[in-house]
Amino acid sequence: MAKINLLPWREEAKRQQVQRFGAQIGAGVAVTVLACVFYQTQINADLNHQKARNNYLNSEITKLQSELTEISALESTKTQLLDRMEIIQNLQTQRPQIVHMFQELAMSLPEGLYLQNLRQNGQALHVVGQAESNGGVSEFMRKLDSSEWLDQPAVQVIETGKDDNSLRKFELNLKQSTPSVVEEEFDPMATEEYQQLLGLEG
């Protein structure tokens, strides 16, 4: 029987097997490297995109903060202007009150009644005087009550004299008032400055 030497064939098959395995390993490594590169590229792209979005958001936030600061300053200016309008209205309303107060007091004085002291606290008035009779005080209060500039007269004290001919000291409280017609003469809401403030001026 003839003998066949299979050693060279086995070595060749083993060598080819090693080559195929090496090629598979190389292909696997190449695929892995490509996958890593693709993954890293995708991550970098996502990071750059997120950074761009963050930068845009930060710029918008800065813009909004600037606008909010501007709005806050405008609100403060508006409040100051409204306060000025209120002060102007109060001054306009109070300006004639002093003149009318003294005029009404003088015109309301009946004969035989004299004023000695007048004290004012805000709109409240305290009057001290002397009268020849209680009837004079009553007449004085009736005239004050009918005045458009003085309101709510109320007697606090009437001191009876020692005899019928002596003067009687009296004290009364009342308040200043302003007729509605005078209050309507000046409307700060209709002024040009207020219209410009509200953006209503053409």
pLDDT at 93: 64
Is residue 116 predicted with pLDDT exceeding 80?
Answer: yes
DSSP class per residue in 131-177: ESSHHHHHHHHHHHHT-SSEEEEEEEEEEPPSSTTS-EEEEEEEEE-
Average pLDDT of the segment spanning 3-25: 72
Three-state DSSP at 201 gives coil
pTM: 0.45
Task: Classify residue 105 by burial, with Cβ atoms within 10 Å: 0-12, 13-18, 19+.
Answer: buried
CATH code given to domain 89-179: 3.30.1360.100
Predicted pLDDT of residue 30: 85
Mean pLDDT of 11-29: 79
159-160-162-168 Cα dihedral, nearest 10 degrees = 70
Number of other residues whose CB lies within 10 A of the CB of residue 194: 18
Give me the mean pLDDT over the 26-37 stretch.
Answer: 85
The predicted model gives 65-78 an average pLDDT of 88
Q: What pLDDT score does 144 carry?
A: 85
The ranges assigned to domains in the chain are: 89-179
Give me the helices (H) in the chain, please.
7-108, 134-145, 180-185, 192-197
Provide the pLDDT confidence category of residue 9 given band limits of 50, 70 and 90: low
Asked if residue 38 has pLDDT above 80, the reply is yes
What pLDDT, on the 0 to 100 scale, is given for residue 201? 44
